[in-house]
Structure 1
Amino acid sequence: WLHGELRANGVALHLNDPVVSFEPPSAQEPARASIVVLKGGQRLPADSVVLGLGVKPEVGLAEGAGLEIGKLGGIRVNEHLRTSDPYIWAVGDAIEVRDGVTGQWALIPLAGPANRQGRIAADNILGRPSRYERTWGTAILRLFNLTAACTGANEKSLRRAAIPFQAIHLHPGSHAGYYPGAEPIALKVLFAPDTGKLLGAQAIGREGVDKRIDVLATALKAGMTVHDLAELELAYAPPYGSAKDPVNLAGMAAQNVLSGDVALAQWNEVASLGPNSTLLLDVRRPDERARGFIPGSTHIPLDELRQRLSELPRDREIIAYCQSGQRSYIAARVLSQHGFRVRNLTGSYRTWRATQPQ
């Protein structure tokens, strides 16, 4: 989604082709330009170059004062934000904090946590015991007309910490579909496969992203489960949300997995599916399929599925998909009740399509 938004606004992306050097222009190149040379050999003339390579704490002063520096390069502090010197406190982007989900040391340079740390450090300096617990990494950005936001852990950090997780993808509307102006939200929620405890979430969309991530960040801090998400009572009127808010829907979709009502397939499994062992089943309408489909899939619209069960193999697993996952969930339930081995492609075609090279 973000790549598509950049390209739609005239930004050229050169992916998986790293910069190897900056060179002066040749006789055939613009005289005043710097030449950015990519590994693949392409030479890009540039009037100016911005290097966005990430940041690391500037801890020279702390090192000079003999303070303990963590393995990640940040100043090590305790829960009261006191350094290894009992008379020195440290806050902000220069310190290492405990990750709210994994519990591991992390560098999370965000303004919100830094401001709260300043208040807590001041309390402790003046004799009022205050604790800084953890940082959950709740962040948001705007990219042209898209908003992207996250809270908690992502798949990479959970794998690194060896924490089991389940992922669901869904594409609810930002508010009731019958009220003008509703926009889809691509929402991903990570949760513990045994208890349903919320572990993290990411969302992308043109409207309503901040609201949902803030709710999920609050739920994460409170230690809620996906069962709690399904029961949250959130403000509703057609211009602002739906009777089942996207946060509620995420909780309900996760409950369906935890209860054993449906098994999930992920978008990154599709490329490795063997045709002799798996059948991809598209249950969308014909007009939807005409606009694009997953190669190799069989098409049976949901409304015809019960009458055409005899066309499906019983010696292969079936992975059902629709546009966003709701109709394929219904298809998966129908098929499982008729004895088929079936999984639902979470996020379905919208999620799969967004991951394909443009």
Structure 2
Amino acid sequence: MKTLIVGGVAGGMSAATRLRRLDEQAEIVVFERGQYVSFANCGLPYYVGGLIENRSELLLQTPESLTSRFRLDVRINNEVTSIDRAARTVTVRNTLTGAFSTETYDRLILAAGASARIARAGLTTSTLRTVDDVDYIESVLSATPDDATAVVIGAGFIGLEAVENLVHRGVHVTLVQRNLQLFTPLDPEMAAPLTALLRDRGVDVRVGTTVLGASASGLGLELSDGTTVPADLVIDASGVSPDTSLAEQAGLRIGATGGVWVDSSQRTSDPFIYAVGDGVEKTDAVSGDPLLVTMAGLANRHGRAAADSIAGQSEPAAPALGTSILGLFGVTISLTGWSEKRLVAAGRAHRIAHTHPGSHAGYYPGSESMSMKLLIDPVTDAILGAQIVGGSGVDKRMDVIVTAMAGGLTASALTRLELAYAPQFSSAKDPVNQLGYVADNLRTGTSRNIQWHELAAARAAGAVLVDVRNPGEFEAGTVDGAINVPLDDLRARLGDLPNAPLIVHCQVGQRGHTAARILAQHGFDVRNLDGGYRTWLAGASLTPTRTAPERILA
């Protein structure tokens, strides 16, 4: 069996090495159009920032090491330009000499990945996706050692990682984001603190802005907000598109998302051709629909699945949640599944739970706050998605939630997880348990909540907002028009409350829940402001056009 693999990074190399482990006799040829294979592309920004000091550490394998250990025929600087499905051959161009050759195959794996979208044609820009990219960035920064300036276009994963690492290098950075929100995979109230975080680090953040082109002097960029910003270096991180050029040339089926269609074993519409990686459709774990998501973990996992299928050990590839994580100046941002924005856009019913726990017991030194958001199906209590932003401990809480989703646990079942506890690691009620308690209260009707973006409409309809925090907290800042009745005084002041629907809030939601339980049992129509003043404050900092529409409750 002769298998050709197009693409020697992530999914392609995972497929090659897995296939060798399963079949010692297989002939395996890997074509890579660049000069590097099996490099750590997720580590590239940290080499730019100096955290990874040696460039060689990014080069995990070489053609020689892969030949020695796995008996792979790895051909760098060789680009597959076309596929003849009838003859089962590919045409290959040597990128150094321009010479063409033909190679036969029994099985073919496409791992072409994704291509960077260009924010503005005609600009001299770099992406941050390959070793050649970081070599170029290094050459520019080395030639401009003092007061270097950079413009980063796009505030997604790569853009934000580029910003952080350029700042670490002492570069003055302007971040240009077309959207009014940074890091659009997050819901707006969860992403709101990121703007202040970046500005505190000296980053010039421009949201709702695009690059028009080079300035007349050629020394900077003209932006759509009417300004000109200096730019010794421009990094285009405005997004990627699936590279389906080979698949389209071969007449393979392209899915509705724009990625290559594959079945559960990574087989394309041609039974002799497989496809893996960023250019390929995945199956959404929440909806079961096709999904386009670019994650290194998925690429590696599906590369392995393709090899298993070729070797006769096929198992269906697991659906994708799109779980991801990002570090930004000491803040960790993680998400999985569907966001509230996506649920609203799809017209799908959902519940929401916000919490703001500490990373470990508050009395033990070093506890760091985090903001957590859980999206829940109101009928089945299934977890639809989660987002966490905070300090230490974000990663392990997200991994617990993702594992719960993969195992089919409901949101309320998070209350029953027996998680490792000691004061320096967690609270006796772990943040994941706490999120489950809120979800369970919503499921049973013990609690009724209202979201930050629903508050204005509810008050306009006659609801009265009651701040149950202490007077000092109230005076330090509250929602305009709220009345202050501290929780500990609430029972004695029931007669002071108006005969109207009430909305109670505290700082993060916990005291608000207690207040709502007291009031409900005294006959009041009451709801708790989910996530409290802290969540509302994050949402209130947003431009009105960015607030979410009314959610669908059932």
TM range (shorter): over 0.9
Measure, in 1, the Cα distance between the counterparts of 2:413 and 2:480: 38
Summarize the alignment of residues 183-222 of structure 1 with structure 2, pairs less than 5 Å apart: 183-222=368-407
- Partners of 2:311 and 2:443 lie apart in 1 by 48
1:289 matched to which residue of 2?
Answer: 474
Q: TM-score, normalised by structure 1?
A: 0.94
* More strand as a share of residues: 2
Q: Which has the higher contact order (CA 8 A, sep 6+)?
A: 2
* Alpha-carbon distance change, 23 to 32 in structure 1, aligned in 2, over 3 angstroms: closer
CA distance in 2, matches of 1:81, 1:275: 53
CA distance in 2, matches of 1:308, 1:173: 32
Task: Please state how far the C-alpha of 1:275 moved relative to its aligned partner.
Answer: 5.2
Q: In 2, Cα distance between the equivalents of 1:74 and 1:317?
A: 49
Report the Cα offset of residue 194 of structure 1.
1.9
Q: Which residue of 2 aligns with 1:328?
A: 512
The aligned runs of 1:285-324 (5 Å cut-off) are 285-314=470-499, 316-324=500-508
1:136, 1:226 → 2: CA distance? 16
Shift of 1:41: 2.5
Query: Structure 1: which amino acid aligns with 2:196?
Result: G
The 1:357–1:227 alpha-carbon spacing in structure 2 relative to 1, beyond 3 Å, is closer
Correspondence for 1:357: 541
Report the equivalent of 1:95. Answer: 280
1:14 to 206, 217, 228: 206
d(CA) in 2 for partners of 1:165, 1:104: 18
Report whether the alignment pairs 1:127 with 2:318: no
8 Å contact 2:352–2:374 — kept in the other structure? Answer: yes
- Which amino acid in the other structure matches residue 36 of structure 1? E
What is the RMSD of the two structures over their aligned residues, measured on CA atoms? Answer: 1.5
Instruction: Give secondary structure in 2 for the equivalent of 1:149.
Output: strand
Secondary structure (helix, strand or coil) at the match of 1:176 reads coil
User: Counterpart in 2 of 1:86?
Assistant: 271
Residue 4 of structure 1 corresponds to 196
SS of 1:274's equivalent in the other structure is: helix
Give the Cα separation in 1 of the matches to 2:458 and 2:413: 35
The 4+ residue runs of structure 1 with deviation greater than 4 A are none
Find out whether 1:272 has 2:457 as its counterpart: yes
SS at match of 1:148: strand
Structure 2 Cα separation of the partners of residues 68 and 159 of structure 1:
30
CA offset at residue 48 of structure 1?
2.6
SS of aligned partner of 1:21: strand
| 1:238 maps onto 2:238 in alignment | no
Q: Is the 8 A contact 2:278 2:299 kept in 1?
A: yes
Q: Report the CA distance between 1:202 and its aligned residue.
A: 0.3
- Is the 2:215–2:228 contact (alpha carbons within 8 Å) kept by the matching residues of 1? no
Q: Offset of 1:291 from its aligned partner? A: 1.9
Deviation of 1:215 after TM superposition, in Å, equals 0.3
Measure the CA separation in 2 of the matches of 1:116 and 1:334.
Answer: 50
Secondary structure of the 2:206 match is coil
Of 504, 522, 526, which residue of structure 2 is paired with 1:338? Answer: 522
Do 2:503 and 2:528's aligned partners in 1 also have CA atoms closer than 8 Å? Answer: yes
Contact 2:262 2:268 in 1 (8 A): yes
Stretches of structure 2 that go unaligned for 5 or more consecutive residues are: 1-192, 543-554
Higher Rg of the two aligned structures: 2
Q: Deviations 1:318-347 (Å, cap 9, x if unpaired)?
A: 110000000010010111111111100010
Equivalent position SS for 1:157: helix
The TM-score with structure 2 as length reference comes to 0.62
Counterpart CA distance in 2 for 1:63 and 1:321 is 55
Query: Is the Cα–Cα contact under 8 Å of residues 152 and 220 in structure 1 kept in the other structure?
Result: no
Give the length in aligned residue pairs.
350
Shift of 1:32: 4.9
